Amino acid sequence: MGNTSDLAEVLADYLIAPDPGAAGLTRAVTGRNEHGEPVSLSVVEERPLTIYLNRQEIVTAMTIGDYPEYLALGFLRNQGMLSPDEDILRVDYDEELETVVVRTASETSYEEKLQKKTRTSGCAVGTVFGDMMEGLEGVQLPATPVKSSWLYALAHKINRTPSLYLEAGAIHGTVLCQQDRPLVYMEDVGRHNAVDKIAGWMLSEGVEAADKIMYTTGRMTSEMVIKTAMMGIPVLASRSGFTAWGVEIAQQVGLTLIGRMRGQRFTCLSGDERLERDMDPRDAPVEAKKHRRKSAE
C-alpha cells in the first residue's frame, strides 16, 4: 500500500472489508527460527463453532470466529437445509458455549428428512452431500454478462486490500463483487466458511444474487461451485485452479467459471457466453510482486 489515499481508494467500494487488526482473530506466538533465534509470529485463530438448526445439532465447523451468525445461516442455506423462503425467527450466538442456534418458525423439511434417515441408518453424515446435489436441481442462473475489464479491476483491488492473509497468512479469502466493485470480503481458515459467511450476509440483508460475481483465492472444487450456484450467483472467479468435477457441475448448471487469474491472464472453463472480453489483456494492471499471493494452502 503506497499511501493513505491509495488505501482509501482500495477500501472505497467495500461494505465489509477484512479487519486484520481486530482483537481475537490473530495471536502472537513465539518460537525459534532456523538459527535457533527467538521469533514472534502473528498466526490466525481457529476455533470450533457448533451449529444447531432449532434443537438439531448439525455440525461443528472450525472457524476463525468472526461473523458466527452469518456462518451458521450461510452454511445451512448452502447445504439446502434452509429453503430460500424459510421464516427465520432468530439466530443466537453463545460465545462461551461456542454454539450458534438458527431458529425457524416451524420445523424445517430438513429436520423431518434427518429424522427419517436417522431411523433407517443411524446417522445423516453421508446424506449431507446428496442433499447438496439435490438442492441444485431447481437452480436457474441468470444470463448476466461479465466484462473482462471488471475481472482485471477486481483482482487489482482485492490483491491490494489489507487482509488477515497479508497480516498472518494461512487463510482463505472470498469476495462478493458487483461489476468492478468488491462489496464483502470474508476470510476464514476453511474456504467454504468464507463463502458461507457471505451467503449468510446476503440472506440477512436480502441481497440480490443475479448481478453478483464471486471471487475466491482458493481452488474451485465441486463444493465451491455448488455453494456459488446455491446462492444464485452466476459467476465464480479465482486466481487458483479447478477440479474436473467442479468444472463438470459448473457446465451442468450453466455457471461461468474463470480460473488462474494472474495478472493479465485467465482461463474460462464454463459459461464463456457470459464473458465479454472488452479489454485488451495488455492494458490490464500488472500485479506488483509484493501483492502476489503466496500459497495459503
Residues from 157 through 216 that contact a second copy (CB under 8 A): 168-170, 172, 189, 191
Rule CB under 8 A: is residue 33 a binding residue for a second copy? yes
3-class secondary-structure state, position 292: coil
59, 83 Cβ separation under 8 angstroms:
no
164, 146 Cβ separation under 8 angstroms:
no
3-class secondary-structure state, position 118: helix
**Cell triple for residue 294?**
503466496
Pairing of β 256-262 and β 235-238: parallel
Rule CB under 8 A: is residue 277 a binding residue for a second copy? yes
Q: What is the nearest approach in angstroms of a second copy to the Cβ of residue 286?
A: 14
| Cβ closest to a second copy, residue 163 vs residue 222 | 222
Query: Under rule CB under 8 A, how many of the chain's residues touch a second copy?
Result: 75
81, 203 Cβ separation under 8 angstroms:
no
Distance of alpha carbon 227 from alpha carbon 13, whole angstroms: 24
Rule CB under 8 A: is residue 60 a binding residue for a second copy? yes
Q: What is the nearest approach in angstroms of a second copy to the Cβ of residue 241?
A: 3
Q: What is the nearest approach in angstroms of a second copy to the Cβ of residue 204?
A: 24
Q: What is the nearest approach in angstroms of a second copy to the Cβ of residue 111?
A: 9
Rule CB under 8 A: is residue 21 a binding residue for a second copy? no
276, 148 Cβ separation under 8 angstroms:
yes
Phi, psi of 282, deg, nearest 5: -65, -20
193, 61 Cβ separation under 8 angstroms:
yes
Sites for a second copy among residues 132-151 (CB under 8 A)? 148
Of 69-77, 84-92, 119-127, 229-237, the segment contacting a second copy by CB under 8 A is 119-127
| Cβ closest to a second copy, residue 30 vs residue 140 | 30
Judged by CB under 8 A, the residue of 57, 87, 107, 278 near a second copy is 57
- List Cα–Cα distances, 107 to 50, 114, 171, 178, 230, in angstroms: 19, 11, 35, 35, 21
Judged by CB under 8 A, the residue of 115, 134, 210, 288 near a second copy is 115
| Cβ closest to a second copy, residue 13 vs residue 26 | 26
| Cβ closest to a second copy, residue 227 vs residue 239 | 239
148, 278 Cβ separation under 8 angstroms:
yes
Of 52-60, 71-79, 83-91, 193-201, the segment contacting a second copy by CB under 8 A is 52-60
**Cell triple for residue 44?**
490466525
Distance of alpha carbon 165 from alpha carbon 59, whole angstroms: 26
Sites for a second copy among residues 227-266 (CB under 8 A)? 239-247, 264-266
Rule CB under 8 A: is residue 67 a binding residue for a second copy? no
